Amino acid sequence: MRVRRRLFLLTCLALPASALAADDALQAAIRQAIGDRAPQEGGIAFTAPRVAENGAQVPVTISVESAMAGDDRILAIHLFATANPTPGITSIRLHPGVGRAEVQTRIRLAQGQRVLALAEHADGRVLSAAVEIGVTSGGCLA
């Protein structure tokens, strides 16, 4: 276990500069969507295939725990790719009249990676969930 952990640390240190730049871009995209708020894990059911055959068309469903009534509303859902050439996937703003804090869409992944979902609650909290999605053939970006 100890050896494994040390190997992991070495891998982190050996990350190429481009990977670090990609992480900066991801953090900037997240800040642009939710400002300086710190997301808290939970409250989101993020459904996606464990392995997607076609990276250009990966179906995802994001379902957030909310009555969508009164003050218990989800205002927006954001999706981010952690290993695409650019991190942004989509931002979806929900207005009064939306009856369920659930959206289904399709996303494009250049390679297998972790995909991050953030949901903005009307009370100011930001909920987060992440799923690891494998990709058999990349989404036309590589």
Which residues of the shown chain bind another protein in the complex (CB under 8 A)? Answer: 56-58, 68, 79-81, 84-100, 102-110, 139-142
Least distance in Å: CB of 2 to another protein? Answer: 37
- Considering the complex, state which of residue 9 and residue 28 has its C-beta at the smaller distance from another protein: 28
CB-wise, 64 or 126, nearer to another protein? Answer: 64
Rounded to a whole number of angstroms, the minimum distance from the CB of residue 111 to another protein is 10
**Coil vs helix vs strand at 123:** coil
Q: Which residues of 96-124 are buried (b: 16+ CB within 10 A; e: fewer)?
A: eebeebbbeeebbbbbbbebbbbbbbeee
Strand 40-41, strand 126-137: pairing: parallel
- Taking the least distance from each CB to another protein, the nearer of 43 and 87 is 87
Q: What are phi and psi of 36, to 5 degrees?
A: -95, 5
**Cβ proximity to another protein, 97 vs 124, nearer residue:** 97
- C-beta separation of 120 from 34 below 8 A: yes
Least spacing, CB of residue 29 vs another protein, in Å: 8
